[in-house]
Structure 1
Amino acid sequence: MSFNIDKQTLDELNLTGKFKSGSVYALFNKVRTSGGERLLDHMFRHPLEEATAINHRSSVFQYFQQADLNFPFDVQQISQMREYVDSTANPGVIRVLAQTFVKRVLAGLTRDERYKKSVQGLQATIVTVSKCYAFVEKLQSDKGPYADKILAMKELLSDKRLQKLREIDIYADMPLKKLAYYEHALKSSLQREMNELLQFIFELDVNIAVSAVARQKKFRYATALPPERNLFAVKGLAHPGIDGAIGNDLRMDTNSNVIFLTGANMAGKSTLMKSIGISLYLAHMGFPLAVNEMTFSVRAGLYSSINVADNIGLGYSHFYAEVVRVKQAAEAAATGKRLLLMFDELFKGTNVKDAYDGTLAITKAFAEYRDCLFIVSTHIIEVGEALRSQDNIQFVYMPTVMEGVKPKYTYQLQQGITEDRQGMMIIRNEGILELMD
């Protein structure tokens, strides 16, 4: 079982993508190592599914955030160490000794770089193991969410072979026998320890980087609850990619599982929906959020329909693409899984009458799935009036405040259904009619 999210939702929320402008992944991708980047990518692609695991990871990030640690390792040395310990080991130390001797001879006669790389690889390993030992010794291991990991690394680094390794002077000439012994040991009998050490360093990289972003941005952490609670409650929710964004409060549960959102264009409806989706996804990862406070029940997936486009390849018009998307959402909801589903401007690709009828019918139908949470936005405010009798639908809107003939957007949610109709005023303000005259 895994957290359900499709490519369209990932793209609409701009969650993943190292090189995508403004992606949530890029916001947190401050790691230093390639291994840390791979681990961060894995976290983004595999949200956690149990409240206990989510809360534990959040507590680890909070531990590092409070500790305010710097990454103590040299990235180039880590890369050299990884290449060194990952290379194929020879079956016996005598054979390794012979091959090391041959490499040293060839290094003196030709431009063979293998002996030099072996020495540099061992030197990088010695320095990295020593730095890891010093770093772990400074960490508090008697309590806290990272105590087990710290104790495990202390035990690993207490191995007598690694103690002797740390004592080697990397600036002194390396005896051939010692070089061959560690070349063999680090790639065979100590290979598991070396892999665990590297994995620990990559975890440190991610923990330090993510917690630093949280500290800089003043992000907070959500509290995860079991799925049966069916709760999503947040205070001060904002978009993590917008500095100084205005926060909003929301609460959804079984008895109030549908939000009907109205507001003028540019009032902030789409950004609010994206903020909700991003916060829920990051919360399932145990990551810090652009919120003041958040409590949520673990959900089985997330589904959005915010930027539906036509599909020329399949011959879909914009309207038909919307219909297909709603059908996919209905099929997902019908599975009985606890999902969050968001729809921005249902059926805007057709005429107003059909859009009204379709939005009304779909919203009513979705509202019956009480285990799912739904957010539906629309310009057709008359739909809201027709839904007033539904006791599990809450009506909120993004207001527009007029300053003379200029609209101003507060981005602050209010209860009710908007009465704002500034479309023609904006058209006039832009002087479009005068240009056509």
Structure 2
Amino acid sequence: MNFSIDKQTLDELNLMGKFRQGSIYHMFNQVKTGGGEQLLDQMFRNPLQDVAAINNRSKVFRFFQDAGCEFPFDVQHVSQMREYLDEKSGKSEILVLADTVIKKCLSALTHDERYKRKIQGLQATIITLARCHSFLETLAPEEPYRSRINTIKTILADRRIEKLRNIDIYTTLPVRLLAHYDHLLKSRLNKELEAVLSFIYEVDVYIAVGGVAQSRGLRYAIAHPPEDNFLSATGLFHPGVPHAVGNDIYMHKDTNVLFLTGANMAGKSTLMKSLGIGLYLAHMGFPVAAESFGFSIREGLYSSINVADNIGLGYSHFYAEVVRVKQAALAAAAGKRLLLMFDELFKGTNVKDAYDGTLSVTEGFADYRECMFVISTHIIEVGAPLKKNNNIRFAYMPTVMDGPHPRYTYQMKEGITEDRQGMMIIRQEGILELLNSAQA
């Protein structure tokens, strides 16, 4: 079963994008090799759904982080080894020998580079295999990576590969020996050599992610079975916000709705994004921006934070919001265990309709105890009639006044806000005086 998430949620949380500034992928993309980047991309696009798989991957990241490893391979040599193995080799060693002799002759008579590339590819392979062997000797064969380490050690201990590893690359190889290894590595031992390259790409990702966790103060989440139906985070913060303030969030089937109020700029949207990013990374087994993070497996993540109108489909902003809520309702009604987040429901319509809509939708969502919801609003009056629902937790992002100037703590508090600084900020910015002076 795949983790369910749509493009809007991916965009709102800024999860993907190799070249997208500030994206979570960009933050973790500290890998050295092309194969490592492909593996990182695969991990980002396929969050895990198995408790053991998630926790084991987290343990592997922590293993490399604690080991303090630096990537031990030469990137150019790894790339040359990849290209060398990708070149086709004849099925017969005799044919490979004939092809090698022809390439050598052409290299002497013309500017044909194929023979030179063949030699360089084999040399790069020898160096990379030797480094891999040395690197494995430095790793403690402990869980959770013991079996993987032992598998690669077994491959490198093969007498044919061991003999290759000990070849002096600075001596000229006879054509027959060059052809022999060309056929051996690309045919008989191709599967084993691919396994070594895969190991190198894994190490690349594990070291890179562990390094990000170390430098940014991230921690590893602990996954629990879906039926536990809870999420607990302490010191949760947004990994892309400098000096971010941490918050504690706890949700389970008896308090599965967080009703969040607070002024604009108080941090409601950032808190939602922090939670969504944390949950997504946790399902990948990646480190999260929190002091601690425990969660039961979710089947998907759904957000509605920056809903825009759709001119192409003729949708107004309000209708786009309604369509988004309908999509979420269908997903919840399908019986999946989801985290769903809505920032400022129905802000594209009048206050009366927004009040009625927010109240009705929040009450309706609250009935789906297998799902978890975070719903924010400016319309604090909605909170009073919702208090009869015992599974709704009320919290707000406070505003503190320093004289005439508002200050935001970004520290969530229990209850419903009573802050109403909108008109005060309008006056503070001198908008009314500007308009009155223009009329004079």
TM-score, L = length of structure 2: 0.98
Deviation sequence 1:306-343 (CA, Å, 0-9, x none): 00000000000000000000000000000111000000
Alpha-carbon distance in 2 for matches of 1:152, 1:410? 52
Asked whether 1:321 is paired with 2:320, we answer yes
Aligned twin of 2:34: 34
Report how far residue 427 of structure 1 moved: 1.3
Secondary structure of the equivalent of 2:395? Answer: strand
Which letter maps to 1:61? F
Task: Return the alpha-carbon distance in structure 2 between the equivalents of residues 374 and 126 of structure 1.
Answer: 55
Partner of residue 132, structure 2:
132
How many angstroms apart in 2 are the aligned matches of 1:265 and 1:243? 20
Question: Could you say what secondary structure the match of 1:418 adopts?
Answer: coil
Paired residue secondary structure (2:211)? helix
Contact in 2 for aligned 1:398/1:418 (Cα 8 Å): yes
The question of whether the paired residues in 2 share the 8 Å contact of 1:225 and 1:297 is answered with yes
Query: CA offset at residue 293 of structure 1?
Result: 0.6
The alignment yields a C-alpha RMSD, in angstroms, of: 0.6
Cα deviation digits, residues 99-135 of structure 1 (max 9, x gap):
1111111111100000000000000000000000100
Taking the aligned partners of 1:428 and 1:61, their CA distance within structure 2 comes to 52
- Written as runs of structure 1 = structure 2, the 5 A alignment for 1:310-389 is 310-389=309-388
- Which residue is 1:288 aligned to? 287
Q: Is the 8 A contact 1:300 1:338 kept in 2?
A: yes
Q: CA deviation at 1:243?
A: 2.4
The residue that corresponds to 1:435 in the other structure is 434
Contact 1:337 1:372 in 2 (8 A): yes
What amino acid is aligned across from residue 297 of structure 1 in structure 2?
Answer: S
Are the aligned partners of 1:88 and 1:187 in contact in 2 as well (CA < 8 Å)? yes
Distance 2:95 2:156 in 1: 27
Distance (Å, rounded) in 1 between the aligned partners of 2:169 and 2:249? 59
Partner of 2:184: helix, strand, or coil? helix
CA deviation vs aligned residue, 1:274-323 (integer Å, no higher than 9, x gap): 00000000000000011001110000000000000000000000000000
In the alignment, is residue 95 of structure 1 matched against residue 95 of structure 2? yes
> Residue by residue, what CA displacement relative to the aligned partner does 1:339-369 show, whole Å, maximum 9, x if unpaired?
0000000000000000000000000000000
Structure 1 position 396 matched with structure 2 position 385: no
Cα distance between partner residues in 1 of 2:162 and 2:338:
52
Count of residue pairs brought into register by the alignment: 436
2:414 counterpart residue number = 415
Alignment partners' CA distance in 2, 1:149 and 1:181? 29
Residue matched to 1:19: 19
State the distance in 1 between where 2:431 and 2:128 align.
66
CA distance in structure 2 between the partners assigned to 1:162 and 1:105 by the alignment: 28
- 2:123 matched to which residue of 1? 123
Residue in 2 that maps onto 1:250? 249
For 1:42 and 1:421, how far apart are their aligned partners in 2? 46
Q: CA deviation at 1:89?
A: 1.6
How far apart are the structure 2 equivalents of 1:123 and 1:425?
A: 72
CA distance, structure 1, for counterparts of residue 223 and residue 108 of structure 2: 62
Asked whether 1:44 is paired with 2:44, we answer: yes
Aligned 8 A contact 1:261 1:378 in 2: yes
Q: Distance in 2 between matches of 1:268 and 1:19?
A: 26
Cα deviation code 1:1-56 (max 9, x no counterpart): 10000000000000011011100000000000000000000000000001111000
SS in 2 for 1:169: coil
Distance in 2 between residues matched to 1:433 and 1:220, nearest whole Å: 48
Deviation for aligned residue 1:81: 0.5
User: Where do 1:73-222 residues align within 5 Å?
Assistant: 73-141=73-141, 143-222=142-221
The answer on whether the counterparts of 1:137 and 1:154 sit within 8 Å (CA) in structure 2 is no
Counterpart amino acid of residue 91 in structure 1: K
- Looking at structure 1, the residues matched to 430 and 57 of structure 2 have their Cα atoms a distance apart, in angstroms, of 54
Letter aligned with residue 340 of structure 1: L
- Matched-pair identity in %: 64
CA distance in 2, matches of 1:76, 1:254: 52
